[in-house]
Chains A and B, each alone.
Chain A
Amino acid sequence: MTSELLFNILGITIVASPAALLAVFSLASLAGRPLGERSMARFTETAVVLGLLSSLVILGMMLVLDRRHVPIEIGNWVVIPDQHFHFHLKLVFDRLSVPFVVLTFILCGTVGAFTSRYLHREPGYGRFFVLYALFLLGMVISSLAGTIETLFLGWELVGLSSALLVAFFHERQNPVRNGQRVWSVYRIADAAFLIAALALHHLTGAGDFEGLMGTGPWPDGHATISQSHALFVGLLLLVAAAGKSALVPFSGWLPRAMEGPTPSSAVFYGALSVHLGAFLLLRVSPILEQSLTLRIAVITLGLVSAIFGTLTARVQTDIKSALAFASLTQVGIIVAEIGFGLRYIALIHIVGHACLRTLQLLRAPSLLHDYHTLENAIGSHLPQGTSTWDRLVPVRTRAWLYRFSMERGYLDVILDEYIVRPFVAVFRWSDSMERRWTAWLSGSDEKGSDEVPPNTSSVEDLV
């Protein structure tokens, strides 16, 4: 068997195993025969182990054969020659994607094992694993994407599953509200991404990263587009990354995403999802080199987010929000590192940070236990507050900073007041105009059916 063929088989296996997992879970539910807990856990285990082994074998082969770049074509899925449009699926194994996909499998696998016990007897068990499979598939596709449209496909799957997992406990209001918020921010990021993808297609004739970066394998590629184009596309991608990685000004959604079950918060928002923006920037890092302005923008955004995160994390009184903002700090630093061109460091940082944060979030319910143990070891209540900080900063400023951090930099309220409100107002206005117009055309009053309140009375009280 030639190594090419083996690469192809393994590469396809890596993507096919989560896809098959998703298919099995959702088809079983669709057919009205949902799987039991045990079989779902076993399927998940098989899929993850298969994917992980395949990616490790690929890694080994690449090392042995000294290949730094292994593309695997899956072909054009949609071709519209007249419009010069094609949807080109392609996987790439290189120094960026292999560590990332291995990380994905290890973290998802561990969390899968964790969840199969954590969600035991929970009514949403099946739903969780369907979303889990969707997420895994999305992450694998994003990691291995060789064209921008492939990346977009994975990106969308991750976004969809993330938002639905935030709203996992949909019988309560807050998770749904926060899930919707995450979803809205993701849509903004998606829109920016999509425009960037179109622009790339327009500029280079294809969405292939290879074409874009020249021939060098990651991270040595050099972008082939001009500086101004790079700035335009790069800024759009930066917006996309900022939305996905909760950088300023979108940071508000990250702590709000902690509504789902603990393991989903851990792996999705603490570890993988939140790094996807940084991953995107890493993937297109050659573009960054083209434009100094763009690099400055990336560095600034990264540092601002990191500082914002570290300030805000300090006033959080609950463990999950504290960890969310701590994650944000590191993601900000990672983005800044990418801006500085430290690509390997950024990659190592992502991997390390993801593992560490997952462990911390999974252990979050142990907080009281851990604190108790620490207090016993130290022999007193745990020391709190940094004295240097108290000495250096005057009280008034401290109080102001405290308020600023407590309100999470006002980011959410500012977005709501100055972006969402006018936006909604415009659409409400258009809606009312349309109603008037149709009413006038039909010569009748507005339809009353919109006004019917939902029936909320409980059946218990009716008798």
Chain B
Amino acid sequence: MQEPTSASTLIHQKPVTADLHGFDDLRHVIEHAAHFLPAQGPITVFVHHNTLHAFEHLPFDEGVKVGGKLFGCNAYLPEERYREKLERGRIRVEDLVAVLLHDLGEEANLEIGAFGTRFALRLAMLQFPLRTGSGTELRWMIAETDALRRFRDEVPVETRDKMVDRTRHWALQELQQGKAKNGTEKESGLFADILNSFESHTMESWSEQTWEAFVLNSLWQVCYDGVKSIKNSVVETPSTDVVMKRHRDLLLEVTQEDTDVLVHEILIRVCSSFLDQGFADWKVPNASGGLYGLFLNLYGKSFASPTRWLRQIHTEVQRLAESNIGPLESIEESLRLLGIKNSGREEFLTHSLLALRGWAGMVWQMETNAEWAPHPAPAGSLVEFLAVRLILDRLAIAHVSRESLEFTGSLDQIRDEASGRVHKEHSNGVEQRAFIVFQLAQVCGWNPQDLESLSHDEWATLSKEIATFSAMERRRIYHLAFERKYRNETLDGVILHSKRHQNSASTIRPEYQVVCCIDEREESFRRHLEECDPTSETFGFAGFYGVIMYYRGAADAHFTPLCPVNLTPKHYVVEEPLYSLAQAERRRAETRRRIGQATHQAHRGTRTFAGGLLAGLFGSFAAFPLVARILFPRTTAQIRRQFEGIVHTPGTELRLERTESEPGRGNGHIGYSVDEMAGIVEGSLRAMGLSKSESFSRLLVICGHGSSSLNNPHEAAHDCGACGGGRGGPNARAFAQMANDPRVRNILKDRDLIIPDATYIIGGYHNTCDDSMTWYDLDRIPVQHRELFETARANIDEARKRSSHERCRRFQSASLSQSTDEALRHVEGRAEDLSQTRPEYGHATNALCFVGRREWSRGLFLDRRAFLTSYNPTLDNENSSTLEGLLQAVIPVCAGINLEYYFSYVDPIGYGCGTKLPHNITSLLGVMDGAASDLRPGLPWQMVEIHEPVRLLFVIESTPEAMRRIIADNAAIAQLVNGDWVQLAVFDAQTSRVQRYVSGEFEEYDLSPGELPIRESSIDWYRSCRDHLGFASIASNSNELAGQA
């Protein structure tokens, strides 16, 4: 290979004036490729996305296949996992039958030669595990295991006996006749060989085992010969779309040397320094020069290249710097040098970006979507990233091919050179295919003598038939069957439960009402509250409660957006100490600041020379917190909180009303106008179905939620999705304050929404990790409401205790026999425990989303698997605009959560971020595996391990017409619903009728036969059970309600 310097002379001859049009093209190609990069931004603000968002325009089954191929990830679970589910009853044979029949449609009854219908064949392939392996492995299995002596265990006894009998009958007759005639017919030639290996003269006295072995031997021989006789081209689907390999893949195959190791080592360091949000003590020199400039600057340093590889980079970087080659120009040049033709450009660039997709994605996110970060990346950073990557790529390729391949030609020939040296050892797959037929023959009872008489064409048909039902297809069917079981159970549960409770629906006014987020983690909380106190009523509404704001707490440094990610707030809200405490608070803030600065100094100081020396000498004292925090996390946390209380702001209020006309962050601009407040309150109350004055109780609790845990880089992933990965307490507080404002109520009165004067609204915050409840502005509760509040608080406390108990059943380290008090202590300990990798399970197991009145789902045990959105169709207009507004947010948000869990579960390494244990926080942006690796977006295994990957099932209380209209008018909903990224059904509460949305049509759902169990309380149903639980009616509340009525 010529030295890079000689390549440079070649470039100098090229006119330096760049072809601008070409660059536009290139930029466009790169931007297109960027869509495939992970869309996760900095981990501190964790927003759940559909991992395959880039493929959402395709139908689900197509999208997971195409996406899986591009990323090298699983589309569904591995086949054996589905088989486990089949064995454990999470998939039933009847589900397989139903799904397969639906999938095949008219082709189900297609006869495949003499082998029965296509349906029967496929069902057999699904029902029985077909083992396979490499040719060598199969040969070993044939030779060394009893594969040819014993039928497989799954084969029914009758089938086996029948096969053995028939063969015996036939063998005794035919072969002996043949022997008598002394004929050497062709067809018996094969059996003759086998017979010879068994002692054929004693045939009459063979034992049962010998006959079994004889049948299997003949069967294998027949299958093998039959399969061998057909050409490969018949069964192998011609793979026209050969994945274009990067040079690296070919070199890796030929030399076992991975150029990416060389490239990534440098690239990871450069990227993490460039993107660092303030962790490292030294800032990158010349960071303003962009990623490309940074790279040229750092690697162009003289006296800094002690090895050959680094010297090559140095030479090349100097050349680039001297001839003033920009990033786009450099990409052009790299592509040309690597010999990438125009047609293959996009694919090559995509694969080059995806080779280090975590970092590339983060560069793109920091460039396009992180203006709020301390150090966002300048525009064009991804292009610069790619330029650096390709420069390093080609240098590494040249380096490796010179060192290990001893190839010194020009770079663009390397691919041909390497492909020429690739070991072409493609097995023809005869063993594999024969072994499949062999196994199928056993379970289906195909006799060897019948198979033997098959024609060439019939063998071809069979092989082709088997080949078309590939592993991917089988997994697809399994998956559908898996979803079907849970979907049917759900719909049955909903129908039966709603029928049961149709008549007992109460008309009495509830004592108090609680509004929670739609989050499925609040399901158990609401259910237990309704159980504790049947006179309460609960609602579900997206946890930002319509308050779209930038919020800064009294002890916070910055404003945080608290609203769904697709919205940008215009309003600012701050929390301030109570006016009377302002003076004292200033002193406290100063103390906090001093302590903070000292802590920060100490934190960084321990990593320096002198500071570390000092800290090291007195470090023995660290042993006390070390031991205490690990052995007694809960107690230590309590003590720590005592100390923190000294500098904690005791009383605060929200500054919610602005005095100036324009919203903003300046003095007087903070907050909302009264009109805006009225708008927010009206929108949210109407949407959740609270618009009639008689439906209000005397106390309305608005409850935001969030989660806090220690030692958990993914902490933000447990926060409220509707608040854009923030904590929704302030939203609830703001909403309550707005709705209590008499001026707001007056405005609403004019709009025909009357909040009774007797109704008081209070905000709260539910921490889903330690199940604690924080109340806001208690001092303001009117005296006549206090007793009611005390009752409500007592019941809510009991409910959260019980809810934590229900959560604990999923934690293997929590005893199943503990009391509710112990359960609460257990979850409190979890939140404070440094060694706890599962502070909570977050959204794991989410599978359902109900949109409708609580009446029909109240008392139905949903196992914390359902998002619950309150919506009252009787109050909606004929256009269902309220529903439309709700679904515009609910469907994409819930689908995003559900699909992220789906993908992180089906491929925890590729789509998820693997196990948490070696995670290493880098650049304050994300986590790497261990010392240095690609950034790992997605969810860690510890968060998803109990998940069941099913697509979210929406059950919406509405009519098919209304839904059709909404789907037609909303492209985002249509894409998800029509592409089958979510499942959809509409429900009529009056008639308990369910209609499913199947390929664009609403189909009547028929109730499956069966009963819905009834239990006294939730705990009776879930007690001493760790696994997923089915549905049940919890009877206590309805009976009591009925009794009271």
Contacts and interface: CB of A to CB of B under 8 A. Distances in A.
Interface of A: 106, 110, 113-122, 168-169, 172, 174-175, 178, 255-263, 306-307, 310, 313-323, 325-326, 329-330, 333-334, 345, 348-349, 351-360, 362-386, 389, 395, 398-400, 402-407, 410, 413-414, 416-417, 453, 455, 457, 459-463
B589 interface: yes
A106 B623 contact: yes
B307 A353 contact: no
Interface string B144-188: 000000000000000000000000000000000000000000000
Nearest to B304: A403
B917 A261 contact: yes
Contact of B924 (A310, A368, A386): A368
Contacts of B929: 169, 172, 174, 259
A381 B557 CA distance: 8
Most chain A Cβ neighbours within 10 Å, of B130, B436, B921: B921
B410 interface: no
Contacts of B310: 410, 413
A325 B922 CA distance: 15
Contacts of A402: 282, 284-285, 298
Contacts of B719: none
Nearest to B266: A407
A377 B626 contact: no
A398 B423 CA distance: 49
Given A169-B915, A368-B924, A376-B556, 7 more contacts: A118-B917, A119-B917, A319-B921, A365-B919, A413-B307, A463-B132, A463-B436
A258 B304 contact: no
A402 B285 CA distance: 8
Interface in B615-635: 615-623, 625-627, 630-631
Given A118-B917, A174-B931, A399-B301, A386 B281 contact: yes
Interface in B690-739: 710-713, 715
16 contacts: A113-B835, A120-B812, A260-B917, A307-B609, A320-B930, A321-B932, A322-B280, A329-B608, A359-B626, A367-B713, A377-B592, A399-B297, A402-B284, A455-B136, A460-B79, A463-B132
Contacts of B425: 453
B597 A378 contact: yes
Nearest to A408: B269
A259 B930 contact: yes
B981 to A, nearest CB: 24
Interface residues of B, number: 106
Contacts of B470: 463
Given A462-B132, A462-B133, A384 B599 contact: no
Given A352-B618, A370-B603, A417-B307, A255 B931 contact: yes
B833 interface: yes
A170 B921 CA distance: 21
A319 B310 CA distance: 26
A55 to B, nearest CB: 15
B612 A330 contact: yes
A381 to B, nearest CB: 5
Nearest to B625: A359
Contacts of B136: 455
Given A366-B710, A372-B44, A384-B281, A174 B930 contact: yes
B18 interface: no
Most chain B Cβ neighbours within 10 Å, of A320, A365, A463: A463
B85 interface: no
A396 to B, nearest CB: 9
Interface stretch (B93-101, B207-215, B270-278, B527-535): B270-278
Contacts of B1043: none
Nearest to A411: B306
Contacts of A118: 835-837, 917
The 8 closest A-B pairs by CB, nearest first: A377-B596, A352-B619, A356-B619, A259-B930, A318-B922, A326-B607, A353-B616, A261-B917
Given A169-B918, A316-B280, A355-B623, A326 B812 contact: no
B780 interface: no
B922 A455 contact: no
B455 interface: no
Contacts of A326: 606-608, 612
A83 B294 CA distance: 63
Contact of B596 (A315, A352, A378, A400): A378
A117 B833 contact: yes
Contacts of B78: 460
Interface in B295-317: 297-299, 301, 303-304, 306-310
Contacts of A463: 130, 132, 432, 436, 470-471
Given A374-B596, A404-B304, A369 B630 contact: no
Contact of A174 (B281, B616, B932): B932
B920 A319 contact: yes
A382 B132 contact: no
B413 interface: no
A377 B617 contact: no
A383 to B, nearest CB: 8
A256 to B, nearest CB: 5
B557 A352 contact: no
Interface in B117-147: 130, 132-134, 136
Nearest to B276: A317
B509 interface: no
A310 to B, nearest CB: 4
Contacts of A413: 306-307, 309-310
B44 A376 contact: no
Contacts of A349: 613, 616-617
A174 B615 contact: no
A310 B284 CA distance: 17
A35 B769 CA distance: 31
Contact of A355 (B281, B619, B712): B619
B834 A363 contact: yes
Contacts of A314: 280-282, 608
A229 B599 CA distance: 49
Contact of B920 (A121, A175, A318, A453): A318
Contact of A329 (B471, B596, B612, B924): B612
Most chain A Cβ neighbours within 10 Å, of B304, B309, B619, B916: B619
A406 B592 contact: no
Contacts of B833: 117
A305 to B, nearest CB: 11
Contacts of A389: 282
B879 interface: no
B429 A377 contact: no
B593 interface: yes
A320 B626 contact: no
B820 interface: no
B630 A385 contact: no
B606 A356 contact: yes
B536 interface: no
Contacts of A386: 281
Contacts of A175: 918, 930
